[in-house]
């Protein structure tokens, strides 16, 4: 027998699904525009950085698509939390949905890893241009492999160390039923409970947190290191470049500053709160899945940042919009002319012979 879901939790579920839909459509729209402008609109040659500018939004669209399909959720209770989904898209089995959630977490790690690669590229472009050879030709695959490696490590660590065991199921079952009217045996996902009944740390579960912390520390350290040194020395270094390149580097630097603040708020902090809250063992019941909404919105925000700050994108967008409007205007003019000609011929045909021109 299912227990009626409290109105507040019902509203939360609806809100989370609405934000997931909004995130998918906004991410798809803005990331598509960014990719299109990068490939066909922007005239300046960004070198191999162009591929990073294309690859990142493509991964963002993939990430948002998985969230739209699965509607993953997180529920935190005292010393534990569960990442789960009750959806069964395409009639997938419970195990298949679990693997898709694992894939979802892996794409998150791939996203933050690709962000650190972008910072490293900009850092070397200013301070050690010879090292940009790592981004050219087949070596670009090293950058891709770097991001994929950490994505796989995060996903497998989450799956292996976060498996739902009997203790975690018993710990969270009653609360899940009361808050979400959900039978724990029917959900697909992973759990983490920090302490056992005697108050001892469940180290096997905690290895999941340690693995995730290591990956985040590596990526965030690269981001912060490159960001700080570019802030300290960029003025001196860019003086040796041409005015055009100097302005471009400054624009990308402003972009990267926002790309530090934005992922800190939308990508890193939410995960840190979710995975470290159990260690406090507070008496709380929180729908922490609300933080997942920020993950989906981030790729759209990142695309907007690049297109707003980098002048080449603004100019390319204006040029392509003007051309599109001109073509639409010309097409409408042609249609109107054809209609006028048709009406004139029709009128001439229907005139009496006596009124027809000689």
The model's pLDDT over 9-30, given as tens digits with 9 standing for 90+, comes to 556 667 777 777 888 888 889 8
Please check whether residue 72 lies inside any domain of the structure. yes
Number of domains in the chain: 2
Sheet containing 285-286: which strands, arranged edge to edge? 188-193, 80-85, 73-77, 285-286
Does residue 116 lie within any of the structural domains? yes
pLDDT bracket for residue 262 (50, 70, 90):
confident
- Is residue 81 classed as helix, strand or coil in its secondary structure? strand
Tell me: pLDDT of 5 over 60: no
User: Based on the domain organization, do 194 and 259 belong to the same domain?
Assistant: yes
| 343 in the same domain as 236 | no
pLDDT at 323: 83
Same domain, 61 and 13: yes
Residue 358 domain flag: no
Instruction: Examine the domain organization and report whether 281 and 336 are in the same domain.
Output: no
Question: Lowest-pLDDT range, 19-28, 112-121, 218-227?
Answer: 19-28
d(CA 78, CA 282): 5
Average of per-residue pLDDT values in the chain: 82
* Per-residue model confidence (pLDDT) at position 56: 85
Same domain as 329, residue 225: no
Burial class, 168, CB count within 10 angstroms (exposed 0-12 / middle 13-18 / buried 19+): buried
| 154 shares its domain with 299 | yes
Mean local confidence (pLDDT), 72-95 = 89
Residue 177 shares a structural domain with residue 286 = yes
Q: Is 35 found in the same domain as 135?
A: yes
Q: Is residue 128 part of a domain?
A: yes
Residues in the chain: 358
- In the block, which residue shows the tokens 């029709």? 346
Nearest residue to 127 (alpha-carbon basis) of 31, 266, 253:
253
Structural domain contains residue 355: no
In terms of pLDDT, which residue wins out, 175 or 12? 175
Contact of 278 with 193, CB cutoff 8 Å: yes
Please give the pLDDT value at position 275.
93
Are 158 and 213 members of one domain?
yes
User: Would 354 be classed as within a structural domain?
Assistant: no
Categorize the per-residue pLDDT at 3 as very low, low, confident or very high, splitting at 50, 70 and 90: very low
pLDDT at 143 over 90: no
Q: Give the CA distances from residue 244 to residues 248, 253, 258, in Å, rounded to whole numbers and listed in that order.
A: 6, 14, 22
Better-predicted residue by pLDDT, 111 or 293: 111
Within this chain, do residues 195 and 339 fall inside the same structural domain, yes or no? no
Q: List the domain range (segments joined by +) for residue 229.
A: 7-309
> Where residue 15 sits, what CATH number does that domain have?
1.20.1070.10
The beta-carbon contacts of 308-315 under 8 Å, at least 24 apart in sequence, are: 309/251, 309/254, 309/255, 309/258, 310/248, 310/251, 310/252, 310/255, 311/247, 311/251, 312/42, 312/43, 312/44, 312/248, 313/34, 313/37, 313/41, 313/42
**pLDDT, mean of residues 60-72:** 87
**Domain co-membership, 29 together with 73:** yes
120 near 226, Cβ under 8 Å?
yes
C-alpha 334/C-alpha 332 separation (Å) is 5
pLDDT at 358 over 80: no
Kindly state whether residues 201 and 321 are assigned to the same domain. Answer: no
What is the arithmetic mean of pLDDT over 57-69? 87
Q: What is the pLDDT of residue 191?
A: 93
Contact of 67 with 291, CB cutoff 8 Å: no
pLDDT of residue 296: 74
What is the spatial distance between Cα 311 and Cα 313, in angstroms, rounded to a whole number? 5
Task: Please give the share of the chain, as a percent, with pLDDT higher than 90.
Answer: 24
Domain contains 353: no
- Given a cut of 80, whether residue 211 has pLDDT beyond it is yes
Averaged over 2-11, what is the pLDDT? 47
Q: How much is the pTM?
A: 0.82
């Amino acid at each position: 027998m299912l227990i009626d879901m409290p109105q507040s939790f019902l509203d939360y579920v609806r809100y989370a699904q609405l934000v997931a839909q909004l995130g998918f459509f906004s991410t798809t729209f803005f990331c598509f525009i960014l990719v299109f402008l990068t490939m066909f609109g922007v005239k300046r040659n960004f070198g191999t950085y162009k591929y990073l500018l294309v690859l990142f939004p493509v991964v963002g669209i993939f990430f948002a698509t998985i969230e739209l399909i699965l509607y993953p959720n997180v529920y935190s209770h005292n010393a534990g939390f569960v990442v789960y989904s009750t959806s069964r898209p395409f009639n997938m089995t419970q195990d298949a949905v679990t693997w898709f959630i694992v894939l979802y977490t892996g794409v998150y790690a791939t996203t933050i890893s690709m962000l650190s690669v972008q910072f490293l590229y900009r850092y070397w472009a200013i301070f050690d241009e010879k090292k940009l050879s790592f981004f050219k030709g087949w070596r670009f695959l090293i950058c891709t492999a770097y991001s994929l490696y950490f994505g796989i490590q995060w996903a497998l660590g989450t799956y292996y160390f976060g498996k739902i065991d009997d203790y975690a199921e018993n710990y969270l079952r009653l609360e899940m039923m009361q808050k979400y009217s959900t039978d724990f045996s029917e959900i697909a996902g992973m759990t983490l409970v920090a302490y056992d009944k005697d108050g001892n740390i469940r180290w096997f579960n905690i290895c999941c947190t340690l693995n995730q912390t290591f990956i985040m520390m590596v990526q965030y350290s690269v981001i912060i290191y490159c960001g700080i040194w570019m802030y300290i020395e960029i003025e001196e270094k860019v003086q040796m470049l041409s005015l055009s390149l100097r302005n471009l580097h400054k624009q990308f630097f402003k972009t990267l500053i926002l790309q530090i603040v934005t992922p800190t708020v939308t990508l890193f902090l939410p995960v840190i709160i979710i995975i470290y809250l159990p260690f406090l063992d507070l008496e709380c019941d929180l729908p922490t899945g609300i933080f997942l909404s920020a993950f989906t919105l981030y790729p759209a925000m990142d695309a907007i940042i690049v297109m707003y700050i980098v002048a080449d994108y603004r100019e390319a967008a204006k040029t392509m919009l003007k051309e599109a409007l001109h073509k639409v205007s010309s097409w409408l003019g042609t249609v109107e002319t054809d209609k006028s000609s048709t009406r004139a011929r029709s009128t001439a045909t229907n005139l009496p012979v006596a009124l027809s021109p000689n």
